[in-house]
Amino acid sequence: MSERTKIKDIARVAGVSTATVSRALSDSSLVTERTREKVREAATRLNYRLNVRARNLRIQKSMAVLLVVRNMSNPFYLEIFKGVEEVARAAGFVLLMGNTEDDHDREVEYFDMLRDGQADGMILMTGNMPADHEIVRDASGMTPIVVALEAIENSNLAHVQIDNCAAAKQAVHHLADLGHKRIAHICGPLPEILSRLRLEGYRKAMAEAGLDIPANYEPVGNYSIQSGCECARALFDDVNPPTALFVANDEMAFGAIGELRRRGLRVPEDVSVVGFDDLFISQSYSPPLTTISQPRVEIGRTAMTMLLDIINARLSSPVVTEMQTSLIVRESTGAADQR
Amino acid sequence: MSERTKIKDIARVAGVSTATVSRALSDSSLVTERTREKVREAATRLNYRLNVRARNLRIQKSMAVLLVVRNMSNPFYLEIFKGVEEVARAAGFVLLMGNTEDDHDREVEYFDMLRDGQADGMILMTGNMPADHEIVRDASGMTPIVVALEAIENSNLAHVQIDNCAAAKQAVHHLADLGHKRIAHICGPLPEILSRLRLEGYRKAMAEAGLDIPANYEPVGNYSIQSGCECARALFDDVNPPTALFVANDEMAFGAIGELRRRGLRVPEDVSVVGFDDLFISQSYSPPLTTISQPRVEIGRTAMTMLLDIINARLSSPVVTEMQTSLIVRESTGAADQR
DNA sequence: AATTGATTTGTAATCGATTGCAAAATCTCT
DNA sequence: AGAGATTTTGCAATCGATTACAAATCAATT
């Protein structure tokens, strides 16, 4: 490994001071075109490369943002990653992955990294914050944190979100419009605000459609395929099974459909199913899944853009951005059997 | 924002020099238990936090590894990420995401980051390297790069891989054993070594089973759902359609199954399908997909462990590790129709 | 030619740690 | 008690950039 060229070497070769080199290379207007050229020439000749570590120490930035999720292997995040990555790299930021596994200590760790300057900002997708952390205590709209996907209550942090309640209502109305009367909802875990909002949308839509919600029609899962399976089992083992399901995410919907299949029930002939998320696979599932689509790449882009605005103190933008969802009708829903 | 405490402040408070503070905090054996205690106490009292940037500059490390993929939103990577993350964080390394989109310039960018010390190592999952990059030119088994998933030819870099050819053979033999004679293979893009190996396995197995491969039985896709669809269309539009498909990855298999469904062909009654990868969704697809499973989390762990070995110059480990795959038989394959 | 003002460059401090080397303190042994 | 060996500590350089401030250069004006 050959010796790294540093700014000092260029200074010597170009016959100027290190200050001038630094300025020339960063296109400062303080230096003449002639010197700038001389320095540039020396730099390329010596094959100079900036030492990012040194620079970051001096300018007190790290040019990195933390992307914190609760479970790295959830496919839902993928396209958000992509949107974030796109904007981040365009702005010269690198992406640090954070994975909390819903563990409080890990959450603290990432907040520590932010406080300690290992990252200049954070995109938080865990729906959770260590309430006792100093960053959280004096958080404001100027704190370089953007909460995406999952709202965090009682915080005035910047948010990018969708209207979960309205989207859920739309899904349920779609089923009601198809003539379904017995519509059940497979919930996400209830402490989470996300799940609560979708549940709320379900209830509102049912009320608006003048439909009852039997006691057992709101089984609670945890967003996993497995739990979708179990919730469906509970629903269809009981008396008075539904003819339609609104499921809080696509993965549980897949689980539910699998369970229905095992019981010899056809989708959509016997039971209609609507999911939520529109995973990459949902359109080619069999049957292709009717679901709520979120503009995930766009959510990622927006979140990162907002974060940059905060970091660069361009405060113009609003602190909360709401993204549009849409109901994608595919083949997993059909008219209710008119018996 | 309060002033950050630095090592100097602790030194003052504890009445020692900065050198001693540094040593005490890093548990150097050079300092007495008494002083160490004094320093520790001052540090917690002042709420001291190490400035990682400064430290990294001084020790010439960045405690970061680059995870480079060709397409960030490919769900296949997810569990590998997880395995890598697990080992990396345990060793105190952070994960930098790199996304090349198969763009040469971007690949160069990440190799630059490695050379410039923005990362101490790299896990490469693109199957590609910028051949003209200085790091590549003098790469050896000691270069802190571990190639995972996709082999790179003519390089003596460390690899973690599976035996694609053998796994493909196993898949095809499974179909042959079920009595299928007309078995087609939907390939991945052929410049890639991965695709070529799986194709080779298919051909070998067909030869071993004494089966012919008609001219049109090796359509080429690009690993996307869409292309699986198209390949299936081509196969079944033609005369002499197959009764079984070995598809080079699960996503294309989903696409193919979707297309079969649209044509009124049932899986597995009319056509058997075997995939490759065992995505999280494959087990609950309808029908649950027979496929080759790779130990993805384990691949990630192994890759990161090897990388750490290289970084820490613990050269003991072998440069190439081969991981075991297994055929998971589910419901997308069945006995051939005996007509 | 001298003065003033505007540009351009250089000197040296700084970011906040780590560490080689020398000095000081402690311990061992006669 | 004193010499020598050993253990602890401190001084100051270093990592490689950026930047405040001072100095030098240049241009314009009288």
Which amino acid, residue A222? Answer: N
Q: Which residues in chain A are classed under CATH 3.40.50.2300?
A: 62-163+296-324, 164-294
Amino acid sitting at position B274: V
Closest CA to A244 of A184, A199, A174, A301: A184
User: Residue A1 has what pLDDT?
Assistant: 42
What are the chain B neighbours of A85 within 8 Å (beta carbons)? 72, 97, 99
Helix residue spans in B60-183 (DSSP H): 78-90, 104-115, 134-137, 164-177
Does B75 sit within 8 Å of A280, measured CB to CB? yes
Q: What phi and psi values does residue B321 have, to the nearest 5 degrees?
A: -115, 130
Phi first, then psi, for residue A186 (nearest 5°) are -95, 115
pLDDT > 90? residue B275: yes
For residue A23, what pLDDT is reported?
95
CA distance B118 to chain A (A): 7
pLDDT level of residue B27 (50, 70, 90 thresholds): confident
- Closest CB to A72: pick one of B52, B81, B118: B81
CATH fold of B61-162+296-323 reads Rossmann fold (3.40.50)
A57 CB and strand C closer than 7 A:
yes
Confirm whether any atom of chain C, the nucleic acid strand, is less than 7 Å from CB of A318.
Answer: no
Q: How far apart are CA A35 and CA A37, in angstroms?
A: 5
Q: CA of B25: how far to CAs of A57, B12, B13, B28, in Å?
A: 21, 15, 15, 8
Residue A88 CA, nucleotide C7 C1', distance (Å): 37
Mean pLDDT, 10 residues at a time, over chain A (339 residues)?
82 94 90 93 95 96 96 90 96 96 95 96 93 89 91 87 97 98 97 94 98 96 95 96 97 96 94 96 92 96 96 81 97 84
Residue numbers in B 13-42, CB below 7 Å of strand C: 18-19, 22-23, 25-26
Residues 66-85 of B with CB under 8 A from A: 67, 72-75, 78-79, 81-82, 85
By C-alpha distance, the chain A residue nearest B254 is A284
Query: Which of A281, A301, A330, A332 would best serve as a mutation to test chain B binding (most B beta carbons within 10 A)?
Result: A281
A24-38, B147-161, B188-202 — most confident range: B188-202
Q: Is the CB of A53 under 7 A from strand C?
A: no
Is pLDDT larger for residue B316 or for residue A295? A295
For the domain covering A62-163+296-324, report its CATH number. 3.40.50.2300
Distance of CA B201 to the CA centre of its chain: 21
Question: Which tens digit of pLDDT belongs to each residue from B223-232?
Answer: 999 999 999 9
Q: Which two tokens stand for residue A221?
A: 């899962």
Q: Which residue of A has its CA nearest to B94?
A: A96
Looking at residue A222, what is its pLDDT? 94
How much is the pLDDT for B1?
42
> What's at B210, amino acid-wise?
G
Residue B73 CA to its chain's centroid (Å): 13
Cα angle B328, B334, B339 (rounded to 5 degrees) comes to: 155
pLDDT of B338: 59
Q: What is the pLDDT of residue B88?
A: 97
From residues 51-80 of B, which are strand D contacts by CB within 7 A? 54, 57-58, 60
Residue nearest to nucleotide C10 (CA to C1'): A17
The CATH architecture that domain A164-294 belongs to is 3-Layer(aba) Sandwich (3.40)
Q: Which residue of B has its CA nearest to A139?
A: B1
- The Cα of A177 is separated from the nearest Cα of chain B by a number of Å equal to 26
Say if B118 is an interface residue toward chain A (CB within 8 Å): yes
Q: B7-50 belongs to which CATH class?
A: mainly alpha
Cα–Cα nearest to A93, from B327, B328, B98, B220: B98
E-state strands within chain B:
64-69, 94-99, 121-125, 145-148, 158-162, 183-186, 244-247, 272-274, 291-293, 320-323, 326-328
d(CA A52, CA A310): 23
Region B235-260: mean pLDDT is 96
Whole-angstrom Cα distance, residue B6 to residue B300? 37
Residue type present at position A12: R
B11: pLDDT strictly greater than 60: yes
- Can you give the distance from the CA of residue B287 to the C1' of nucleotide C4 in angstroms? 88
- pLDDT of B13 over the 50 cut: yes
The answer to whether residue A54 neighbours chain B at the CB level (below 8 Å) is: yes
- pLDDT for B2 equals 53
Rounded to whole angstroms, the Cα distance separating B81 from B78 reads 5
Q: Which chain B positions have a beta carbon within 8 Å of A73's beta carbon?
A: 78-79, 81-82, 280
CB contact under 8 A, A118 and B81: no
CB A279 within 8 A of CB A78: no
Which residues in chain A are contacts of B87 at CB distance < 8 A?
A: none
Residues in chain A: 339
The Cβ of residue B293 has, within 10 Å, a number of other Cβ atoms equal to: 18
DSSP characters for B129-152? --TTSHHHHT--TTSSEEEESS--
pLDDT of residue B216: 95
Going from the C-alpha of B38 to that of each of A96, B20, B23, B31, B33, the distances in angstroms are 35, 11, 12, 11, 9
Q: Which nucleotides of D are covered by protein (CB under 7 A)?
A: 7-20
Positions 186-225 of A with beta carbon below 7 A from strand C are none
Strand order in the sheet with A183-186: A183-186, A244-247, A272-277, A290-293, A326-328
Partners of B247 in the β-ladder: B186
Selecting from B57, B72, B96 the residue whose C-beta is nearest the C-beta of A81 gives B72
For residues B259 and B257, what is the distance between their CA atoms, to the nearest angstrom? 5
The pLDDT score that the predictor gives to residue A58 is 96
Give the SS3 label for residue B94.
strand
User: Strands A290-293 and A145-148: what pairing?
Assistant: unpaired
Where are the domain boundaries for CATH 3.40.50.2300 in chain B?
A: 61-162+296-323, 164-294
Residue A253 β-bridge partners: none
Residue B167: which pLDDT band, with cuts at 50, 70 and 90? very high
